[in-house]
Structure 1
Amino acid sequence: MSTGKSNPLGLVVAGIVVAVAAVFLLAKLVISYNAGQANPDDMTAEAINARVKQVGELDAGEVVAAGAMTGKMVYEQVCFSCHKDGLIGAPKLGDAAAWGPRIAQGFDTLVKHAVEGFNGKMPAKGGNANLTDQEVARAVAYMANSGGAKFTEPKVEGVASGESKASEGAASK
Structure 2
Amino acid sequence: MKKLIVSIVFSTLCFASWNASAEDKPIDPAAGKTLYETYCFMCHDRGLSHAPRPGEKGDWAKLLPLGEDTLYTSIIDGPNHMYSKGISPIWSEWQLKSMIRYLTSTVTDASTQAQIGSASEADKAQHLRLMHGRKLYEQACFKCHNYGDLGAPQLGNAEAWAARKDKGIDTLVKTVIDGKAHMYAHGGSNSLSTEEFKMMTEYMLSTLEEGWVSPQQNGQ
TM-score, length basis structure 2 = 0.35
User: Higher relative CO (CA 8 A, sep ≥ 6), structure 1 or 2?
Assistant: 1
TM-score, length basis structure 1 = 0.44
The structure number with the bigger radius of gyration is 1
